[in-house]
């Protein structure tokens, strides 16, 4: 399997980053979205992104010109898939939308096209049947700010063929990702399976008044050499997302600690607009958070 033509469906937060990354690394990319107006917006976002590539990757104007040349746009699904070797799906995280998308795409994509979902929380086996080609279906999960946080989690479901698994791993490497093979389905892949327990434990230590935010982060940083602690990480993720995850867990499990955590996050942070880096204030104040100061680890 040799991928050349890549179609990215959905040009939202993640989709346009994936498309640009693949175009930058020389693939012929077609960006598909539901309307031409949305695609016009994507074009302006690519210009902003190219500046980040200059700063973050020292990309030259010549390289960026090639990336722009490799990008094509269409809101016609059949045209988008016409000669696709690989489809990367980054449509909204909603089961109904994804099922509807795969039902449509399975009818128009050529037999050769491999389908990869970037879904963060829906296991590929939930969608596999709808694709009409379960052996050519897989998850390829990127992180936000893909050019900087370049993890490519490649996760099989029970029916994915070994050939497809290997080809997608090679593709992830070819677009500058650190490819992370995942042999069995796992909610949260590897990154979030590691991260979520850390963040939950930090929140519990705080809410149970075992220690304070700075001491908890300092402990983690000194003990492991990490550049930031769990509360620093939550400022990056965004406190709204952290709150939403805890609120869903509180509502579904009725766990008293999750209820306490979600109430405290809402009252002391979300309602006050302290949302993390995005709002300039969260557990720390930005752009110079305390944990980056010289004496923090003393």
Q: Which chain residues interact with ligand NAD by CB under 6 A?
A: 9-15, 32-34, 38, 90-93, 97, 101, 118-120, 141-142, 144
* Helix, coil or strand: residue 94: coil
d(CA 185, CA 258): 26
Query: Nearer to ligand NAD by C-beta: 33 or 217?
Result: 33
Query: Nearer to ligand NAD by C-beta: 27 or 189?
Result: 189
d(CA 266, CA 255): 17
Q: How far is the CB of 243 from ligand NAD (least distance, A)?
A: 16
Q: How far is the CB of 83 from ligand NAD (least distance, A)?
A: 18
Q: How far is the CB of 296 from ligand NAD (least distance, A)?
A: 28
Q: How far is the CB of 201 from ligand NAD (least distance, A)?
A: 23
Query: Nearer to ligand NAD by C-beta: 114 or 221?
Result: 114
CA-atom Rg of the chain in angstroms: 21
Angle between helices 230-237 and 213-224 (to 10 degrees): 110
d(CA 267, CA 49): 35
Query: Nearer to ligand NAD by C-beta: 32 or 284?
Result: 32
* Helix, coil or strand: residue 43: helix
Using CB positions, name the residue nearest to ligand NAD: 12
Q: Before 287, cis peptide (omega within 30)?
A: yes
């Amino acid at each position: 399997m040799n991928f050349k033509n890549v179609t990215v469906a959905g040009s939202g937060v993640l989709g346009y980053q994936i498309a640009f990354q693949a175009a930058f690394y020389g693939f012929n990319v077609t960006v598909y979205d539901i309307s031409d107006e949305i695609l016009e917006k994507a074009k302006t976002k690519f210009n902003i992104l190219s500046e980040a590539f200059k700063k973050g990757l020292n990309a030259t104007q010549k390289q960026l010109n090639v990336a722009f040349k490799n990008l094509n746009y269409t809101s016609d699904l059949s045209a988008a898939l016409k000669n696709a070797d690989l489809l990367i799906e980054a449509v909204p995280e909603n089961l109904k939308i994804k099922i509807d998308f795969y039902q449509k795409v399975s009818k128009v994509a050529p037999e050769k096209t491999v389908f990869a979902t970037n879904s963060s929380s829906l296991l590929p086996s939930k969608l596999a049947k709808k694709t009409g080609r379960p052996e050519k279906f897989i998850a390829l999960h990127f992180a936000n700010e893909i050019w900087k946080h370049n993890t490519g989690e490649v996760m099989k479901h029970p029916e994915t063929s070994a050939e497809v698994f290997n080809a997608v791993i090679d593709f992830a490497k070819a677009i500058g990702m650190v490819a992370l093979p995942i042999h069995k389905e796992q909610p949260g892949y590897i990154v979030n399976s590691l991260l979520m327990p850390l963040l939950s434990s930090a929140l519990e230590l705080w809410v149970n008044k075992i220690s304070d935010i700075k001491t908890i982060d300092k402990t983690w940083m000194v003990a492991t050499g990490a550049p930031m602690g769990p509360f620093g990480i939550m400022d990056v993720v965004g406190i709204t997302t952290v709150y939403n995850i805890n609120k869903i867990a509180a509502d579904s499990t009725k766990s008293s600690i999750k209820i306490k955590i979600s109430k405290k996050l809402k009252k002391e942070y979300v309602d006050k607009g302290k949302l993390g880096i995005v709002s300039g204030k969260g557990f720390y104040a930005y752009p110079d958070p305390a944990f980056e100061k010289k004496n923090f680890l003393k």
